[in-house]
């Protein structure tokens, strides 16, 4: 486990149910602006789903983004959290967006 991986995982676990954040925001939160893609790389390797809710991290354009168990599963989990989705895009994004970088 590298430092980078630790930082990413440790910070996404505070995202509350019913809220989402973005890959870019996670990068910003760990002071690695520009590493959004690398953040996705870490989340891809996550297997501790109950500990690290990686499905609550989406793309900055409101699209769901990818998921290591399939986009359909990611969508299902988000809906279970009470989040509305239309055409792979999250609705009401402004209100459910979790500003991770300000909560650290």
What part of residues 73-102 is at the interface with DNA (CB under 7 A)? 74
Distance of CA 14 to the CA centre of its chain: 11
With CB under 7 A as the contact rule, the residue among 9, 20, 23, 83 that binds DNA is 23
- Of all helices (H) and strands (E), which one includes residue 48? none
CB contact at 8 A, 5 and 12 = no
What part of residues 40-69 is at the interface with DNA (CB under 7 A)? 40-46, 54-55, 57, 59-61, 65-68
Q: Known catalytic residues?
A: 54
Contacts with DNA by CB under 7 A: the residue count is: 32
Least Å distance, CB 28 to DNA, is: 10
CA dist., res. 27 & res. 44, Å (int): 15
């Amino acid at each position: 486990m590298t430092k980078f991986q630790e930082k990413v995982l440790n910070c996404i676990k505070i995202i509350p149910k019913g809220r989402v954040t973005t890959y870019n925001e996670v990068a910003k939160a760990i002071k690695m602006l520009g590493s959004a893609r690398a953040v996705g790389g870490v989340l891809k390797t996550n297997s501790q789903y109950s500990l690290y809710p990686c499905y609550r991290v989406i793309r900055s354009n409101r699209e769901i983004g990818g998921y290591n168990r399939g986009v359909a599963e990611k969508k299902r989990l988000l809906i279970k959290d009470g989040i509305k989705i239309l055409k792979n895009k999250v609705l009401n994004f402004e209100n459910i967006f979790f500003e991770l970088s300000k909560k650290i």
